[in-house]
Amino acid sequence: MTSATSLPTIELKNIFHREQHVIALFFKYNRTLIDLVKTIPQAAFSKTNRCWYVFNMPGVLL
């Protein structure tokens, strides 16, 4: 019997934060995923929205 490992679910939403349109990344706490998101240039955590976000520009999430 093999055990199936599930990948974390990430929900992307366009939101307006700090007077800018940004892409919000919502996911359950996952240290590995957080470390990966931190490698995205200008990624930041929003305490208000309880999510990570990046600026809504071409190529940011490639």
Strand order in the sheet with 11-17: 11-17, 20-26, 51-55, 44-46
- Confidence (pLDDT) at 46: 97
What does 21-32 look like in DSSP terms, one character per residue? EEEEEE----HH
pLDDT digits (tens, 9 = 90+) for 10-47: 999 999 999 999 999 999 999 999 999 999 989 999 99
Rounded to whole angstroms, the Cα distance separating 27 from 43 reads 15
Q: What is the average per-residue pLDDT within 2-12?
A: 81
Three-state SS at 48: coil
Phi, psi of 31 (to 5 degrees): -55, -45
- Confidence (pLDDT) at 4: 62
pTM of the model: 0.81
The pairing of strands 11-17 and 51-55 is unpaired
- Confidence (pLDDT) at 41: 87
